[in-house]
Structure 1
């Protein structure tokens, strides 16, 4: 048999928080891991009923898990949210073990707040990405409508590659092709031979028409 002090030390370091609960669900002892003081001492829990320090949903989960445990199932765990009127609320995953002839309950808990914080950060990042995506999609839609409705030829060319990155139908018509055909082609090749002359003539005619309009 291990000395009581050694048993207490083992239990307090085996988990972030350890609860010893009587069959009546009265909390007999609370042990907090010395290296995990985020919980505080929690000695005020001793003598309280376990359901009284749980959220309503967690009270129901505890009842179901206790029924499973009494039915002979082993290796059970449950996530419980501790809550009180002092506005604190934190999740803990407990493994549950029956002890002794009276059926006392040993609960070894792992603080889930770090995991919950990471999950919240991921959710926040995902929402930000979705907002950015929606904003970008709206800009793309406006840009595409503007390109389609603009009567003047508009062509975008990459300065690094000299290739056409986008153009509107008016510019595609002047170059004698379609938008899908021309995107990605070198703009210089569109000014060779007869097509170059036709392109310049078309630009000149459009300029003359606008000047006399």
Structure 2
């Protein structure tokens, strides 16, 4: 083409066709006068049937309003830069496709030329993204549902269960039944090393034992001792694979379950320990507190368990080491002490009258220590608790009252002092189970002074035990 010559019509049409995916000439009345579709956009198909028909009939309701608004803006400012507008076309009743147009006013004619870009590929990508996002949300909901299901089933199980990483020995999860056997809570153990919760177990040795037991063809287990509760446990490990990773499912059973204490009984005992109204204390063989329930913390005004653990129980008894020595010696000798009257000191110095019962706890190969139940005694219990003491008091008081009118006040006071002294000595002898050394220590007397007073009140009798 030479300079100054206008391009041929076929050349213009080819240029328009290559410059856009679709080009439409619209007359003043909105009728389609011509249309050109890029051959490289086969998805649009042949649209020659649009010619001679109203352009709005091939638009959705929303797109008709947008097209009319853009025409009015172009008529108001013919020289303004063209702005694109996305219109959604409908054809053949169900076929819908988006086109992004720019409107141009044809010089010398009351017509409009629309150049469009097919947005269907982008729309398809957007639809796939939306579908993918929807699918992801459904998968997330399914994962949350499965996790909730797992949590509920694990927690509702009465069998103590624990999940352990086989390579690191780390506890990934456990239920409350398992935590009770360890003497703690699930939040405390989850995420920690299993070896730290056991007594006398090295991490590498424990991991090797768990892996060996889980890989054995026969059902094998390992015996361990919980560090906090001191309980002997049997661990039954088993491999399973989750998301391509191996996990150890460990079932826990107390060693004493074979003697009749099943999982339900163990869980019930643990619940009783935590919720009992009477104070319960577990000590080692020397009287050091290893565990205590909430009632003991309330009785001693302790804020939390660590305020009393690893402290001697004698620190909380009114007569201190004397009470502790008597209780432990009698428990070792007889296996249990049914009733021992004393007072408990709180952390703020207040005292409470209590009745202490103690028993010896044993296990295979040694002793666990002692278990003690401490019940606070109210004044009514002190009045009605010991019939023999009440009877003795009434008899002694009657003897004193009979002396009124027959003796001077000084003689009456002296007789009353002797009665009280005799009652205190008898009580000390009874509390110490006739251990006169302990009774003398309890009364603040020397051993010789105690024997003098025993002879004075006729309490020696025919008892040959002078210890």
Other-structure match for 1:209: 261
Q: Which residue of 2 aligns with 1:7?
A: 12
User: Are 1:34 and 2:86 an aligned pair?
Assistant: no
Structure-to-structure mapping, 1:3-152, within 5 angstroms: 3-72=8-77, 73-152=80-159
TM-score when normalising by structure 1:
0.89
- What SS class does the counterpart of residue 168 from structure 2 fall into? coil
- Which one has the largest radius of gyration? 2
Aligned equivalents of 1:70, 1:206: Cα separation in 2 = 93
Contact persistence 1:91–1:112 (CA under 8 A): yes
- Residues matched between the structures, number: 213
Q: Partner residue of 2:363? A: none
Instruction: Name the structure, 1 or 2, with higher relative contact order (CA <8 Å, separation 6+).
Output: 1
For each residue in 1:61-97, what CA deviation from the matched residue of structure 2 results, as whole angstroms up to 9, or x when unmatched? 1111111212214322111111134432211111111
Q: Tell me the residue number matched to 2:180.
A: 173
CA distance in 2, matches of 1:132, 1:94: 39
> SS at the partner of 2:179?
helix
How far the C-alpha of 1:56 sits from its partner, in A, is 2.0
Counterpart contact for 1:69–1:76, Cα < 8 Å: no
Shift of 1:172: 1.8
- For residue 181 of structure 1, report the CA deviation from its aligned partner: 2.4
**Which of 201, 226, 244 is 1:195 aligned to?**
226
Deviations along 1:32-78, one digit per CA (max 9) or x if unpaired, are 11211222231111111111221222112111111121221432211
State the alpha-carbon separation in 2 of the partners of residues 114 and 160 from structure 1: 50
**Structure 2 CA distance for partners of 1:136 and 1:121, relative to 1, 3 Å:** same
Mind listing any 5+ residue stretches in structure 2 that lack a counterpart? 1-5, 201-224, 234-252, 266-467
Q: Is the 8 A contact 1:191 1:199 kept in 2?
A: no
CA distance in 1, matches of 2:118, 2:58: 15
Whole-Å separation in 1 of the counterparts to 2:179 and 2:131? 43
SS of structure 2 residue aligned to 1:198: coil
Structure 1: gaps of 5 or more residues: none
**Aligned-partner SS, 2:117:** strand
